[in-house]
Structure 1
Amino acid sequence: MAENLKPKLGIWHATTVELARQRQQTYSTTAAAGQKRAHDSQNSAQSGPPPALRHLNRASLSGEMPRLPASRIQYVDGLAAREAPSEYSQRQAFAATPTSTTDPLLSLSHPAYGLPPQLVANFAASGIKSIYPWQKQCLLGPGLLRGDKNLVYSAPTGGGKSLVADVLMLKRVLEDRHAKAVLVLPYVALVQEKVRWLQNIVNGILRKDEDEGQEGQTGRLWARRADKDTIRVVGCFGGSKVRTTWADFNIAVCTIEKASRAAEANSLVNAAIEDCSISSLRAVVLDECHMIDDGYRGYLLELMATKLLCLGQPVQIVGMSATLTNIGLLKDWLQGHSYETHYRPIPIEEHLVYDGRIYAAGTTASLLKTVTQLDSATTQHSQSRVQPVRLIEPSAEKELKDPVRNAVVALANETVRAGYGVLVFSSSRAGCESDAVLISRVLPTLAEADPIIQEKRLDLLGDLRSLPTGLDPKLEQTIPCGVAFHQAGLTTEEQELVAKTYDQGVLKVCVATCSLAAGINLPARRVILHNARMGRDLVGPGMLRQMRGRAGRKGKDEVGETYLCCRQSDLEAVVDLMHADLPELSSCLISDKRRIQRQVPVPTRRALLEIIAIRLATSRESLDDYVSKTLLAYSAEPESIQEHVEASIADLQKMEFITIDDYDNFQATLLGKAIVASSLDPEDGIFIHDELKKALQAFVLDGEMHVLYNFTPVQDLGVINWKVFWNEMQKLDDSGFRVLHFLGLKPVVVDNMQVFFPRGSTLKETTPEEKEAARRYHRFYLALQLRDLCNEMPIHRVAQKYDMPRGSVQTLAQTCQGFAAGMIKFCETMGWGAMAAALDHFSGRLKAGARSDLLALAKITFVKSRTARIFWDNGFKTVAVVANADPKELLPVLMQAQPNKVRLGAKDEQKFREKLLAKARIITDSANRIWREQPSRVIPVLQMCLANRIPLQRLRCNKSLRKNGELLILWLVPVR
């Protein structure tokens, strides 16, 4: 049927289903990148399981699960027209399409860009051999390559927008060997991915010598120099390097995520302004800058950019997004150049799926027809009514009775059997797992897959099983069929493995939550939206565009397809959403979307407190100058701005954060400086100050609960399971109960809540006192989880105990590390040295997930928590001993540390041991790097002996070992 339709419709490219039909139902799976291998189901059934499967435990074989038949998808008879591609589908290859041979400026090696040959080569090695015409036009905008002007630009997801910012940022860093750049991303997952990308791009590139800067000496500028001249790229986010300083990097990739000491980028800028090192900052890139309109964290972008605009220094600010509407407002605010394009290298076909019918939704005209005619009960079937493109047959299976779920499964099945990848967006974590399991039940089993893919999927199962958290049971079911899910319930390591193998084609289906649409970079041939909700609420137009923009893999697919599946109750709202314009951006400094019930906006207070604390504004004149450079000044009436500024200043005085003298000069108090230094909101700072002041009067030091309580963030990170809270409260020792009573927490309240709301509920928060009490109960509940983590309980055990996803427990641990660093900074600024020292001592245990005796071992890569304890128990008690060990000696220890003891066949066992041996080599290398720093301790001892005239003969070697036949002294002490 498809063959009959094709010439009639004049199709200029083949859809997924047509390609499958052209292959005469001989479906194939990708064996390697760019290769497809036909699969003969009959021969596979006769040959039986391959050798690699014979020793695998039965739970890992998805073929053991009950199989489901996927519904067929058919073309509609009499289809006479084909919808045009969407507004993003603008790329058709013509003979006149420009290339780097016809337009030399499409090559990054062109002298106009002034990039070093090594950088151009690194771009080419990563697949970027030429640039698009729009990228050329954008880069050649007035003053951009010289760094004279700021830039804000918009390009669709997948259109190559990041490359423009990367080129401008790298030029600024390479022009000056002391230059710094900051790249701000919205999510931790994106930070980690971007750090790896940039490290590969700058590999082998050295910074320019100060004495070499004359034009025409390009060959000399990039001559190889010492290692100290390489470009250092670091990631700054909670749980990574929470104390990153200005001297640690040339390029800092930061996050604005509130859960990980969100203001990492903002804090870096504040610290650099205070110590006058900000002059070395040359570039700031704001990715996803449409989030400046986000009331939860976006205002941090506005605060940081405004401070840079006030400095009057040559800092190039580059803002980019796929979902900008009033780009002119940002252009005026940043006083720079703007550029906008709708170009996509891969065209996208968009569809709406409703009640088993697939409608083309690519143009405004067809979309409006769909709105008015699709679900009209009074409209009779006629030629004027919009006809569906295809029909999805109903399923007789109980699990697939729901038409939306049936459509998702059928569309995913069709894509995979045609040999392509599919990305499914679901509304919740539970929905992700459910969709992944259902989709895996209709796909070919592991025994039917290509042998190469079989091997790689078994390797993936082995890698996941070897993680400290073990293998997730649902992933164990779905991965053999090439399906996995990617959501916040998984640990970072699990997410990275899933994303990597999906990108390699080992996994064919990835199911993710809607909230991760902008936080992952996983393009697919087909994107399927299992409704357009995030939780209970519909997603916004920007988020919808982010999800649909993931369709189409450059270099792998000739077209991208999106399918939004919705049910009857959502039809009208969903179609309106698909047709909705993106909302215009505005400043969040007045319209505080987080605390609507409060009269004075919190971001305004935070903004004014910051600039006063870092002494960027100390007078009314300089304060007004700062306000005039905010985005707020370009998007609100002057009278309204002035009113809020006055109210905010009055509140800051009332809170005792600032003082004003008779000449209207501003000065931050010690408390105000501490709040800014620790990246707290003013209201949260008051609460923390009161808590720490009480702790100074009676700090419970004969246990760990009081310290851990002060490490827990003030924002909510989940719901309290009151039954678990009550059980853990019963197990508290005398020290724990003293902390409980000291904080004013009443066991009777916990008892009542666990009786009436055992699975979770919130306490009353109608008054300020009730809000503070609820916050204390929540923090203590989190402290109980931290206690278990610090006492070497593995993450997956903590997750089971507190009925939480493992990823949430890991996020809690990382968040608390960042928050702990903020609390230490708060105490140091307030002059509470003893409190800061106590918190600092315990923060090492929090990061290591171990008791104090294991802190040194826990600095070694892969040696954390339970693994460190097993190393200790097996005699590897110091870094020096691990550094001096043969990797083969560590192999039995690592085998013992594995969470799942799975009986494997000889071949699989050997592969598993090889992976652990590779990990052992990394461990010994890491221990050696740490150990090399220890000999420096000899110098202070020698200096002490010389100062006190102690003969060197009276020194003895306290620690030594032989390494490569050479005696190495680790520690010298005077002989008494």
Structure 2
Amino acid sequence: MEPPRGILHKTTLESTTLQQKTFHTTTLSGNKRFHADVASSDQQPPPKRALQFQRASAIDKEVPELAASAITDVDPDRATYPSEYSQRRAIAATPTSVVDRSLSLAFPRYGLPSSLVNNFKSLGINEIYTWQKQCLLGPGLLNGTKNLVYTAPTGGGKSLVADILMLKRVLEDSNSKALLVLPYVALVQEKVRWLRNVVHGIKRQPSKEESSEKEQRSLWQKRFDEDTIRVVGFFGGGKVRATWSDFDIGVCTFEKVRRLRYPCDIDLIGIQANSLLNTAIDDCSITKLRAVVLDELHMLDDDHRGYLMELIATKLLSLEHEVQIIGMSATLQNIDLLSRWLNAHIYSTFYRPVPIEEYLVHEGKIYPASSTIGLLQAAKAASQVKLDSDTSQHRSQPVRIIQPSAHKEFKDTVLNSVVALAVETAKSGYGALVFCNSRRKDGCESDARLISRTLRDTSQLASAVIEARLDLLADLRSLSTGLDPCLAETVSSGVAFHHAGLTTEERELIASAYDKGVLKILVATCSLAAGINLPARRVILHNARMGRDLVGPSMLRQMRGRAGRKGKDEIGETYLCCRKDDLEDVIELMRAELPHISSGLTTDRHRIQRALLEIIAIRLANSRDTVDDYIQKTLLSLSSTPDDIKTHVDSSLQDLSEMGFVHCDDSESYTVTQLGKAIVTSSLEPEDGVFIHREMQRALRAFVMDGEMHVLYMFTPVHDTSTTINWRIFRSEMEGLDDSGLRVMTFLGLKPTQVIKMAQGGSLKETTPQEKEVARIYRRFYLALQLRDLCNEMPVHVVSRKYDTPRGAVQNLAQTCQGFAAGMIKFCEQMGWGANAQIRAMAAVLDHFSDRLNAGARSDLLALAKITFVKSRTARVFYDNGFKTVAAIANADPKELVPILIQAQPSKVRLKSKDEEKYEEKLLAKAKVIADSANKLWRTHMAPHFWCSTAELG
């Protein structure tokens, strides 16, 4: 029976321990040993084979069950104190029971086709909120003549407004296009799926002129999908890039490289929207663009990436035709400034369909964070400061108390509070998000383990939930990386963790299971707050830090905003658990206003250099007057003095000229040089472009073609300069290099003696520009060693362990370098090196290694690796078992493939009876997909031969 909602602390769920399981083993004598079975050179020898098989019962014996602390009410009859974020006082913004026809998307004034309205209904959107109606009906928005900047709380439905306006622009003209710009790849993937469902089956009606042109075109000239709305996601990492003509709605990130601002995980790999706009402006196809949506507009203030969003918007404002700009965020403070910059209508609301109650947890006591006064009183009460006589006592007292724990694991009061609040939520049948500041040690994985140990009792759970968790374990175990030991321990209790150390496939499975309620507790790094849409009944912050620094007010609002599931919860709750030393800072943070947005162009001189280089390269400006006109359209012009702006522009133009990126003649007319154009075309930062230019010139003088290390080095991205080198591993790998690899090190200027010195505890100087460049080459070569192992069939999880790097980081490296290599080829072509025989040879080799890296396999497995689910290790196992061609797998019975798939799994754990049967069922379903994919590939391969034979017979 479902527990009553809204009474979490009074609801319990009795549980018992899962039955202990035993495993049988399968001997694979005579079979090839894989990287997963062999420890790296720096690790201890593997244990005896008998010890490689772990019994499920061993977990219970080695890790005893724990009990979460009880949480008691101070006053059971206490009134509920609404928080400043609950918006319970904003009654006017809440839809009433009175019928309002304008809340229906079919309302004539919105002008939406019935097919689109029906698609929204099928996705659960039957009508809109009052604030959404008021926003959409703002002046000039529905007809696209006015830009829009608006703010609404997380979970308030702000994305729907942008979707409607964007779709109207795309539907009103069959040639029109739109861009949706998001900060994270995870959001791009999610949004692409959503929009494809929204536009499914909708046809755009062409004009009379277009209809006439289509009738004149032959069948071979027509596109099969030319009347549909094509939604394309730009994820990066692939060799085949969608062009401006391949989509109607493009969903992309605004940053191409991966940079970490904090020691938490922010996934930023994707195609740069800024680069896409540059290309369209340069080739004049930009005239088809009708709408651009800038999500998370508050990131204009981001130190590393905000200026890119500013460049995007400024270029749009500089175009001769109108493009509707729609900017939105949950955390915008000076919205008036942005309105003046973008010439936009503004709308702001505090409405949330699910209100949030907020609490501060300190020393095991829970205080309502209802107002500034309440927060101060909570601080005084927690600090045992005597209150003034006229202060209302009940407001300063805790409303609930988390009892101390008898377990040594929970002696830390903050950890004890986090576990108690999470367990209470799960046992009440709801979901909780726990935010931590790091991945390991005292972070995500540690918290997930401890919480799971208090939730081992699952006897009262529905059998369907237990089955679903076993399915999730089987899915995780069937991945190429195998089942993570920590997830193996936590998932059966309904607990998991989510961070960038996991692979994309692991994160997708975990997020989906949590969203469906299979998992009740998800422990995540802070970046998840903005990186993916996973709401919860209760959000718990394990302190308010990201690494060593306190989170900012915007990030705090993002994390809290995940509380409350629309349609599943009547209310959301957030608990910020803070330490005694952080109390004053945390209260100040909770009271702090959101930061004011300002331009990021002048915070680093390279940024305005890039802005000016771009507009000269794409011919938006060619003189000082046109440069000044462009600068006047930036946010910089509204947030800095004219004298400061002139100083920055003058010095930046001079720097660009001295670096050889632009040329200025006597009449002060600016033109881009070949090098400057190459940098813009390949989407490189100016400083990265200079580095690449030197590296390519060195490669033209001497390129080692009798091995793979030089080409892999050129294949390695240059963007991420935060790589930490394990010098002992570097030394070990260097000692294993052949003559070709050592020659590469010599050509690059890397000294084996320096590596040995560093491995013995030395330090690498990075004070002068020359020293910084040498350090950069060392880091790049270290990453190239990881790519070498991936290309030679070493699984991602083994490379991760070998180089002491998170699995997700290794996977990101593999995905990023393919797009980077393509950019390097563009760089060479733009530099006029395309005709050089050495460059052509290198391009061919890069293309080949791109295939190998994508497959994670050597050359002999590339054909097999095109089959769905068959990569690296699996392809090698098929090959070694006689399935050496696509045709062999296509003609096989799927049941024949199951034993091979079992052999290919990196995990040696074998389940028994029902669990083993379920696992084999999963593998049989996978085998059927593999066989079907092989059949399709084989038919595609044989089709040209069939038509040639038919023609000969004819």
User: Is TM-score (shorter-chain normalized) higher than 0.5?
Assistant: yes
Task: Say how many residue pairs are matched.
Answer: 891
1:669–1:876 Cα change, 3 Å: farther
Deviations 1:681-732 (A, max 9, x none): 1111111110111011001111111111112222225311111111101000
Mapping for residues 728-743 of structure 1, pairs under 5 Å? 728-743=733-748
- Are the aligned partners of 1:57 and 1:904 in contact in 2 as well (CA < 8 Å)? no
1:231 to 229, 232, 256: 229
Is 1:658 matched up with 2:662? yes
1:556–1:651 Cα change, 3 Å: same
Deviations 1:166-219 (A, max 9, x none): 1111222222222222111111111111111112222222222223999xxxxx
1:429 to 435, 439, 446: 439
Give the superposition deviation at 1:235. 1.6
1:19–1:876 Cα change, 3 Å: same
1:475 to 483, 487, 502: 487
2:798 is matched with 797
1:971–1:198 Cα change, 3 Å: farther
2:761 to 756, 760, 779: 756
1:675 is matched with 679
2:417 to 395, 407, 422: 407
Give the superposition deviation at 1:97. 3.9
1:338–1:242 Cα change, 3 Å: farther
1:904 is matched with 911
Mapping for residues 916-927 of structure 1, pairs under 5 Å? 916-927=923-934
Structure 2 distance, partners of 1:630, 1:637, is: 13
- Are the aligned partners of 1:182 and 1:284 in contact in 2 as well (CA < 8 Å)? yes
Structure 2 distance, partners of 1:973, 1:96, is: 73
1:604–1:352 Cα change, 3 Å: same
Question: Which range moved further: 653-662 or 263-272?
Answer: 263-272
Deviations 1:634-692 (A, max 9, x none): 21111111111111000000000011122222111111011111111111111111011
Give the superposition deviation at 1:296. 0.8
- Are the aligned partners of 1:658 and 1:669 in contact in 2 as well (CA < 8 Å)? yes
1:706 is matched with 710
- Are the aligned partners of 2:791 and 2:856 in contact in 1 as well (CA < 8 Å)? yes
1:67 is matched with 65
1:418 is matched with 428
1:951 is matched with none
2:217 is matched with none
Give the superposition deviation at 1:772. 0.6
Give the superposition deviation at 1:250. 1.6
Structure 2 distance, partners of 1:872, 1:969, is: 30
- Are the aligned partners of 2:82 and 2:88 in contact in 1 as well (CA < 8 Å)? no
Give the superposition deviation at 1:892. 4.0
Mapping for residues 633-652 of structure 1, pairs under 5 Å? 633-652=637-656
1:873 is matched with 880
1:455 is matched with 467
2:113 to 116, 128, 142: 116
Structure 1 distance, partners of 2:156, 2:921, is: 41
Give the superposition deviation at 1:763. 2.4
Q: Which amino acid aligns with 1:646?
A: D
Structure 2 distance, partners of 1:314, 1:918, is: 51
- Are the aligned partners of 2:613 and 2:656 in contact in 1 as well (CA < 8 Å)? yes
Is 1:574 matched up with 2:586? yes
Q: Which amino acid aligns with 2:228?
A: T
Give the superposition deviation at 1:371. 4.1
Give the superposition deviation at 1:93. 8.6
Q: Which amino acid aligns with 2:746?
A: H
Structure 2 distance, partners of 1:240, 1:691, is: 23
2:855 to 804, 829, 848: 848
1:858 to 859, 865, 871: 865
Give the superposition deviation at 1:409. 0.5
Structure 1 distance, partners of 2:92, 2:887, is: 64
- Are the aligned partners of 2:95 and 2:129 in contact in 1 as well (CA < 8 Å)? no
- Are the aligned partners of 1:61 and 1:446 in contact in 2 as well (CA < 8 Å)? no
2:291 is matched with 283
2:173 is matched with 176
2:343 to 319, 335, 345: 335
- Are the aligned partners of 2:360 and 2:368 in contact in 1 as well (CA < 8 Å)? yes
The TM-score normalised by the length of structure 2 is 0.88
Structure 2 distance, partners of 1:884, 1:179, is: 46
Mapping for residues 255-274 of structure 1, pairs under 5 Å? 255-257=253-255, 258-259=257-258, 264-274=272-282
Is 1:498 matched up with 2:510? yes
1:512 to 512, 524, 530: 524
- Are the aligned partners of 1:62 and 1:478 in contact in 2 as well (CA < 8 Å)? no
2:37 is matched with none
2:206 to 205, 209, 219: 209
Give unmatched runs, 5+ long, in structure 2: 26-52, 212-222, 259-267, 835-839
Question: Which range moved further: 697-706 or 890-899?
Answer: 890-899
Give the superposition deviation at 1:931. 5.2
Structure 2 distance, partners of 1:920, 1:229, is: 36
Structure 2 distance, partners of 1:51, 1:262, is: 44
2:401 is matched with 391
Deviations 1:502-524 (A, max 9, x none): 01111000000112210021101
Structure 2 distance, partners of 1:602, 1:701, is: 36
Q: Which amino acid aligns with 1:817?
A: Q
Deviations 1:14-54 (A, max 9, x none): 875x3452x5x4x2xxxxxxxxxxx5x5xx67xx8499999
Give the superposition deviation at 1:231. 2.0
Q: Which amino acid aligns with 1:824?
A: I
Give the superposition deviation at 1:971. 12
Structure 2 distance, partners of 1:693, 1:464, is: 45
1:315–1:889 Cα change, 3 Å: farther
- Are the aligned partners of 2:181 and 2:253 in contact in 1 as well (CA < 8 Å)? yes
Structure 2 distance, partners of 1:675, 1:972, is: 49
2:815 is matched with 814
Question: Which range moved further: 711-720 or 623-632?
Answer: 711-720
Structure 2 distance, partners of 1:970, 1:630, is: 63
For residue 429 of structure 1, give the secondary structure of its aligned residue in structure 2: coil
2:608 is matched with 604
- Are the aligned partners of 2:93 and 2:131 in contact in 1 as well (CA < 8 Å)? no
The TM-score normalised by the length of structure 1 is 0.86
2:846 to 839, 843, 852: 839
Q: Which amino acid aligns with 2:851?
A: G
- Are the aligned partners of 2:169 and 2:176 in contact in 1 as well (CA < 8 Å)? yes
Give unmatched runs, 5+ long, in structure 1: 1-12, 28-38, 215-224, 593-600, 939-959, 961-966
1:779–1:701 Cα change, 3 Å: same
Structure 2 distance, partners of 1:435, 1:96, is: 38
Mapping for residues 43-62 of structure 1, pairs under 5 Å? 49=19, 58-59=55-56
Give the superposition deviation at 1:895. 3.2
Is 1:538 matched up with 2:545? no
Give the superposition deviation at 1:248. 2.2
Structure 1 distance, partners of 2:239, 2:306, is: 22
Structure 1 distance, partners of 2:89, 2:951, is: 70
- Are the aligned partners of 1:788 and 1:798 in contact in 2 as well (CA < 8 Å)? yes
Give the superposition deviation at 1:461. 0.3
Structure 2 distance, partners of 1:531, 1:574, is: 9
Deviations 1:49-75 (A, max 9, x none): 499999997338865531112111111
- Are the aligned partners of 2:8 and 2:424 in contact in 1 as well (CA < 8 Å)? no
Q: Which amino acid aligns with 1:267?
A: S
Give the superposition deviation at 1:907. 3.2
Structure 2 distance, partners of 1:53, 1:211, is: 70
- Are the aligned partners of 1:91 and 1:347 in contact in 2 as well (CA < 8 Å)? no
Q: Percent identity between the aligned chains?
A: 63
1:841–1:900 Cα change, 3 Å: same
Question: Which range moved further: 564-573 or 831-840?
Answer: 831-840
1:554 is matched with 566
- Are the aligned partners of 1:89 and 1:349 in contact in 2 as well (CA < 8 Å)? no
